[in-house]
Structure 1
Amino acid sequence: MCGVLDSAELVALSRHTRLARHSAGEELAAEGMPVESYANVMRGVVKLTKVLEDGRQQIVGLQFAPDFLGRLFAPDSAVTAEAASDIDLCRVSKSGLERLIAANPKLERRLMEQTLRELDEAREWMVTLGRKTAAEKVASFLYLIATHLDPSADSEQKGRKFLLPLTRGDIADFLGLTIETVSRQLSRLRAEKVIAISAVTQVDVPDLERLRKRCG
């Protein structure tokens, strides 16, 4: 977001920003509540959820660094945002950012491009949920985390290590599977040495390309 601003605009933006750190499980925004600020994810994973009338929760998205958190110009939040892991956010006031957008077409375009990218990713994920097998869904989830959790990771690196940001119950909710099915598919991937799991949440993917081929 800051890459399209000149020095004077960066100074103006800095007057409206602050670094915020949140622990896993903290609510960042509540569905239906007024939007007072936006944020860029700097580190960690944010979980987006919708709550049905009967109280059931559905995870509708995950956000990683450097995703933009919040829907521009919306008066109220359409989803509940929760820290899935410990996270760092760069928060900016709603009024301050919207004034900058009005004065800077390049910033408006950058944010529009990011919104469209997230829309494309959401459509791809609909294919995962609607057409893939349970094994392909779990592999796709692991590949998503492995390739998005650390944006500074070397793209040429063959493997990745990471901590799962979601519980197995949340993974099941996100993928439309049962907890037992998720556990069974993780065990299968581990038995076939596609992944290694230690300390419950530590995942080692020795060969990303091999995992990608399991995604269907």
Structure 2
Amino acid sequence: MHDMPSSRPTNFCDACAIRNRAICADLDDREIGLLNGIGRRRKLSAGEQLMWEGDEAVLVANVIEGVLKLSSHSADGKEQILGLVYPSDFLGRPFGETSPYGVEALTEANICVFERADFDRFAREHPRLEHKLLERTLSELDRTRRWMLLLGRMNAEQKVASFLLEMAERLGTTVAGAGTSVALPLSRQQIADVLGLTIETVSRQLTRLRNDGLIDLPSRREIVLHNHADLQARAS
């Protein structure tokens, strides 16, 4: 088992920023208290690995802050990024013996970690959590299908437009009269790696979208989306 530096404050669940959107959202206060007893907070640095593909599935986790990537590797060692996970997303394979993918932090991240055996036992004893797990599993399947379409069938413009729309949905802040502002957690190179493009291609596509009036680029880590409908048309 890999080292897992962590902490558990007394108000661990009460102070959780994503409690109303996380896997535990439907639990009552008593159940939250019990879940608090088996959870730990853990901080990840950018580039730090949380789970390894094919390893024993010893952990599951809720993402509180940050962005992580799910990836798999082919027989020749080539990485295939399966998707991104954001705050309130769930990681790991409850009731499974091995991890189906690797998980790496793309940015600094805070997560809520559970030993899988403890979490499995808790889920069996609390049907509302089991139901939520099923909902999340089906949603993850839908997201994976969309991601494989993005990587396999879309051109560069569609990929970048789709990526920006997802960022806006998951991380965006609406600014009155100015569209949706997104503080990008990824560098241009990381975006390129995630989308299977070169950094030059990503930069060209962003410049084109800006010149067409669909976005603004106040800085390298901020994008403002002005026209979601036109971006959706570009993405499709």
TM range (shorter): 0.7 to 0.9
**3-state SS in 1 of match to 2:230:** helix
Q: CA deviation at 1:155?
A: 11
Q: Are 1:184 and 2:224 matched, yes or no? A: no
Question: What is the CA–CA distance in structure 1 between the aligned matches of 2:24 and 2:134, rounded to whole Å?
Answer: 14
**CA contact 2:174–2:180 (8 Å) conserved in 1:** no
Deviations 1:21-62 (A, max 9, x none): 222222111222222221111122111112233332221110
TM-aligned CA deviation for residue 164 of structure 1:
2.7
Residue 109 (structure 1) aligns with: 131
Q: Which runs of 5+ in 2 are unaligned?
A: 1-22
Letter in 1 for 2:199: I
Please report how far the alpha carbon of residue 116 of structure 1 lies from its aligned counterpart in structure 2 after TM superposition. Answer: 0.2
Equivalent of residue 230 in structure 2, options 203, 210, 216: 210
Question: Which position in structure 2 is the counterpart of 1:78?
Answer: 100
Deviation at 1:115, TM superposition (A): 0.9
Residues 90-129 of structure 1: matches in 2 within 5 Å? 90-129=112-151
Name the amino acid aligned to 1:213.
A
Contact 1:13 1:96 in 2 (8 A): no
Separation in 2, partners of 1:92, 1:156: 40
Q: Which moved more, 1:124-133 or 1:88-97?
A: 124-133
Q: Are residues 1:168 and 2:188 paired?
A: yes
Structure 1 unaligned regions, length at least 5? none
> What amino acid maps onto 2:87 in structure 1?
A
User: What is the rounded CA distance, in whole Å, between the counterparts of 2:201 and 2:235 in structure 1?
Assistant: 16
**1:67: how far off?**
0.8
Tell me the CA shift for residue 64 of structure 1. Answer: 0.9
Specify the SS of the correspondent of 2:114: strand
Is the alpha carbon distance of 1:125 and 1:155 closer, same or farther for their aligned partners in structure 2, counting shifts above 3 Å?
A: farther
CA shift for structure 1 position 68: 0.5
Distance 1:192 1:159 in 2: 15
What does residue 42 of structure 1 align with? 64
Which amino acid letter does the alignment assign opposite residue 204 of structure 1?
Answer: V
Amino acid at match of 1:159: G
Residues 156/77 of structure 1: CA separation in 2 closer, same or farther (3 Å cut): farther
Q: Could you say what secondary structure the match of 2:235 adopts?
A: coil
The partner residue of 1:140 within 158, 162, 178 is 162
Aligned match of 1:193: 213
What is the SS of the residue equivalent to 2:56?
A: coil
Identity over aligned residues, as a percent? Answer: 41
Give how far 1:156 is off.
9.3
Matches of 1:57 and 1:169 in 2, distance apart? 16
Cα distance per residue 1:115-167 (max 9 Å; x no partner): 101111222233333333221111001111111125xx569997222233334
Q: In the alignment, which of 28, 52, 71 is matched to residue 30 of structure 1?
A: 52
Distance 1:179 1:6 in 2: 47
Separation (CA, whole Å) in 2 of partners of 1:116 and 1:168: 31
Q: Is the 8 A contact 1:158 1:208 kept in 2?
A: no
Measured in 2, the distance between the counterparts of 1:157 and 1:79 equals 41
Distance 1:54 1:88 in 2: 32
Partner-residue secondary structure (3-state), 1:39: strand
Amino acid at match of 2:92: G
Find the partner of 1:159 among 151, 154, 179.
179
